[in-house]
């Protein structure tokens, strides 16, 4: 992949990627390193991060560092900032996140609270801390990974969709605030992407259609940075958001929820059946 000639000049020399141990974040890291940018990778799984860091150093001759961190912890920001000290970070990719599916009142409160911390609080604190540095250098970018679920309240995914609505609003507003400072902001809303996140949410891979490879989604995000405040990956996904936005809100919300409810219930029945055979 080759990004625009100016990419390295505007967003280099260092790129910070959260949620870089797998999925879309890992691919963001691989793609920018292939363009010759240095990377700082954040996630909890230190072993995975270390493997990626070593591969990127060997394959692309870039500097790469890992910061094993849990973004849901109260003191993560101090640790992150001290690990980033002395690095001229031009692009901040706040991508770490996870979802929880099910009826809102049936999901344990501590899991919901952790999701709020990772998906919203971490994005808020990271952008707040890095924006002054980007303004000072007079150029740079921020990518926030949102979701199509951020456009509507989604039954059976109520809190997750709410966290992604937060990311959408935050990113759109920052896009406008930071334009005059030559800082590009993009909210990337990946459609269904082939990552670990679905299994973790109790959704079987075979129940999803049109899954895109995470590399394709990350590449689109990098290419769209600087072009618009929000990018929904996938033509059909963009049409879906357009059509649903024109529907009466109650129909849009009900339609979004119906599909999710079906795949979760199907998966629960499958697991119950497989347990009863063992
Ligand atoms: N895949 C999709 O279809 C899809 C659709 C819409 C939006 N998204 C969004 O895309 C982003 C990336 O997800 P993905 O699909 O690539 O799934 P993924 O492979 O599960 O990646 C999630 C990343 O977030 C990190 N993470 C989770 N909790 C963390 C914590 N407490 N502290 C630090 N890092 C944490 C994970 O690393 P560790 O486990 O090592 O900490 C991992 O690197 C998320 O924001 C997700 O909501 C995905």
Lookup result for tokens 């930071």: 178
CA distances from 186 to 49, 114, 145, 210, 253 (A): 25, 24, 8, 23, 25
Task: Tell the residue nearest (CA) to atom 25 of ligand 1.
Answer: 19
Ligand 1 neighbours, Cβ below 6 Å, are 19-25, 43-45, 69-72, 95-99, 118, 145, 147, 190, 192-193, 195-197, 214
> pLDDT of 238-274, one tens digit each?
999 999 999 999 999 999 888 888 888 888 887 777 7
- pTM of the predicted model, to two decimals? 0.96
For the chain, give every domain's residue range.
6-277
Which residues lie below 8 Å from residue 202, measured CB to CB, with a gap of 6+? 101, 102, 264, 267, 268
> 274 or 106: which carries more pLDDT confidence?
106
Distance 20 CA to ligand 1 centre (A): 8
Q: Flag whether pLDDT at 174 surpasses 90.
A: yes
Which residue from 16, 18, 20, 24 has its CB within 8 A of the most atoms of ligand 1, so it is best to mutate? 24
Residue owning tokens 């926030």 = 144
pLDDT of residue 206: 80
Q: Give the pLDDT confidence score for residue 277 in this predicted structure.
A: 62
Which residues are marked as active site? Answer: 160, 164
User: In the chain, what is the straight-line distance between the N-terminal and C-terminal CA atoms, in Å?
Assistant: 47
152 CB neighbour count, 10 Å cutoff = 20
From the CA of 197, how far away is ligand 1's center (Å)? 6
Distance CA 184, CA 11 (A): 9
Query: 204-236: per-residue pLDDT in tens?
Result: 888 887 899 999 999 999 999 999 999 999 999
Report pLDDT for 153: 96
Q: Give mean pLDDT, residues 39-47.
A: 98
**Average pLDDT rounded to a whole number, residues 33-37:** 97
**3-state SS of the chain: helix, strand, coil percent to 5?**
60, 15, 30
51: pLDDT strictly greater than 90: yes
Comparing 271 with 78, which gets the higher pLDDT?
78
User: What contacts 34, CB < 8 A, 6 or more positions away?
Assistant: 1, 59, 60
Mean pLDDT across the chain: 94
> Residue 275 above 90 pLDDT?
no
Letter string b/e over residues 79-103, b meaning 16 or more CB atoms within 10 A of that residue's CB: ebeebbeebebbbbbbbbbbbbbbe
- Which residue(s) pair with 17 in the sheet? 41, 93
Q: Right CATH number for 6-277 from 3.40.50.720, 3.40.50.620, 3.40.640.10, 1.25.40.10?
A: 3.40.50.720
């Amino acid at each position: 992949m080759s990004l625009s000639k100016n990419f390295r000049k505007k967003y280099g020399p260092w790129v910070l990627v959260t949620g870089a141990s797998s999925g879309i974040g890992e691919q963001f890291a691989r793609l920018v390193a292939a363009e010759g940018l240095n990377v700082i990778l954040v996630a909890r799984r230190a072993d995975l991060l270390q493997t990626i860091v070593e591969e990127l150093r060997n394959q692309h001759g870039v500097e790469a560092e890992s910061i094993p961190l849990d973004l849901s912890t109260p003191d993560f920001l101090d640790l992150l900032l001290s690990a980033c000290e002395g690095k001229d970070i031009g692009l901040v990719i706040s991508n770490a996140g996870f979802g929880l599916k099910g009826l809102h009142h049936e999901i344990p409160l501590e899991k919901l609270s952790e999701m709020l911390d990772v998906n919203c609080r971490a994005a808020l604190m990271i952008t707040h801390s890095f924006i002054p540095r980007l303004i000072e250098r007079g150029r740079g970018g921020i990518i926030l990974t949102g979701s199509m679920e951020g456009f509507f309240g989604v039954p059976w995914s109520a809190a997750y969709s709410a966290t992604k609505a937060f990311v959408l609003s935050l990113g759109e507003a920052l896009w406008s605030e930071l334009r005059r400072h030559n800082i590009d902001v993009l909210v990337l809303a990946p459609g269904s992407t082939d990552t670990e996140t679905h299994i973790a949410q109790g959704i079987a891979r075979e129940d999803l259609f049109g899954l895109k490879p995470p590399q394709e989604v990350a590449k689109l995000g990098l290419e769209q940075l600087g072009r618009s405040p929000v990018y929904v990956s996938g033509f059909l996904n963009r049409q879906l958001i357009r059509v649903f936005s024109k529907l009466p809100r109650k129909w849009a919300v009900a339609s979004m929820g119906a599909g999710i409810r079906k795949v979760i219930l199907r998966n629960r029945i499958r697991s119950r059946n497989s347990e009863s055979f063992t």
